[in-house]
Amino acid sequence: MTTFGDSTRCVHSGLPAPVPGEPLVPGPVFAAPYHLAVEGFEPGTDGYGRPDNATRRILETAIGDLEDGSCLAFSSGQAAITALLMTVLRPGDKVVIPSDGYYNTRALAASTFADLSVTVVEVPTAGPYPSFDGVRLVLIESPANPGLDEAPIAALAESALAAGALLAVDNTAATPLLQKPLILGADVVVASGTKALTGHSDLLIGYVATRDPELLAGMQRWRNLGGAIPSAFDCWLARRSLSTLALRLRQQGATGTALSTLLRSHPLVSDVRWAATAPGLVSFSLPSAAHVAAFLRASTLVAAATSFGGTHTSADRRHQWGDTVPAGFVRLSCGIEDTSDILTDISSALDAAAQV
Ligand SMILES: *Cc1c(COP(=O)(O)O)cnc(C)c1O
């Protein structure tokens, strides 16, 4: 599939070759145990649902094609990040993580991994980055959630390689359509597919992708022993949703680009943040939490919701989750509604919030 463009791969990757009478898209394979050969288990056949599921393999082939590596799907983005950290880090190791990225990554490092005597160093996504000498793993997130700062992935890959550290990139916000960290030199991608990748606000899923066979085998072993597999039905929904990823990103990006311009000229709004690698997301600040509440109440189309990248436009006041951002900081995720409807709705809701 690597000779095809991304939209084509989103539709076709992972699906079986045409067979007359078979469906274009196979249904989910629901199986805990499979029938075994009466003589005993034959390696290479499906035996049990935790290690083996055909629907999950279809999804993994599709995501792996898009990331340009081999993919393993997990039950959530957090499960994928946990798999990477548990596979790579040992007591006494040092890990670099973003100080301004997804809060649960920080919480996981500061609790479980600090307890396991791993030294955790927090660095802002935009840098400056310290020397990676003595570092085992550098985990970056670009663009970072929720501030949308970007990290210089290719340059960091070079410094990590020179220092003998692994570089991992959380590719949740960009998706592999807008950023391919493995091609930029990263060793491994981790991501939540709960957000834009699947984009219908109806499932949680995560994945890792890498070209390093040893790392892949380690994370596969962890998944099998840790048990954090996604269900066959969620894998099937995810593969189905992937078909429209390019279309969804195009519409979300068109609205997000226009919205960032609108927000920059609105007197109630400050600190507008937008990144070309996740153009459907716009972060900005209103003067207070009360202004955000008034904005959400006055809006018809913007749902108050966490997560992002869905078909519905939504906004989240990140301070309520403990992000170190001002109380009026909003991460807004553009859906696939008509751009003009979203701009009109947000503009009038901001005007109403300005009366607070
Ligand atoms: C949501 C998110 C995660 C965690 O994903 P879940 O699917 O919710 O477990 C990890 N990284 C980033 C950047 C996220 O936005």
Compute, in angstroms, the gap from residue 42 CA to the centroid of ligand 1.
37
Ligand 1 site, residue 159, Cβ cutoff 6 A: no
Instruction: Determine the Cα–Cα distance for residues 342 and 263; give it in Å rounded to an integer.
Output: 12
Instruction: Determine the Cα–Cα distance for residues 329 and 270; give it in Å rounded to an integer.
Output: 9
pLDDT tens digits along 18-61 = 999 999 999 999 999 999 999 988 888 999 999 999 999 999 99
pLDDT tens digits along 150-164 = 999 999 999 999 999
Structure tokens at 67: 């990331």
Atom number in ligand 1 closest to CA 78: 9
Structure tokens at 249: 């990103």
Structure tokens at 250: 């195009």
Report the run of H or E that residue 292 belongs to, with start and end. helix 289-298
| Straight-line distance from the first to the last Cα atom of the chain, in angstroms, rounded to the nearest whole number | 54
Q: CB within 8 A of 333, min separation 6: which ones?
A: 252, 280, 281, 307, 308, 309, 310, 313, 314, 315, 316
Residue 275 CA to its chain's centroid (Å): 15
pLDDT tens digits along 81-130 = 999 999 999 999 999 999 999 999 999 999 999 999 999 999 999 999 99
Q: Give mean pLDDT, residues 120-145.
A: 98
Distances (CA, A) of 59 to 91, 153, 154, 197, 238: 34, 26, 27, 12, 7
Give, for ligand 1, the residue of 108, 125, 148, 194 to mutate: max count of ligand atoms closer than 8 Å to Cβ. 194
Compute, in angstroms, the gap from residue 352 CA to the centroid of ligand 1.
32
Mean pLDDT of the chain: 97
Ligand 1 site, residue 328, Cβ cutoff 6 A: no
Report whether 114 contacts 120 (CB < 8 A).
yes
- The phi, psi pair for 169, rounded to 5°, reads -125, 125
* pLDDT value of position 1: 55
Ligand 1 site, residue 206, Cβ cutoff 6 A: yes
pLDDT tens digits along 335-353 = 999 999 999 999 999 999 9
Ligand 1 site, residue 75, Cβ cutoff 6 A: no
* pLDDT value of position 65: 97
What structural domains and CATH numbers belong to the chain?
A: 6-242 (3.40.640.10), 245-353 (3.90.1150.10)
* pLDDT value of position 43: 87
pLDDT tens digits along 291-309 = 999 999 999 999 999 999 9
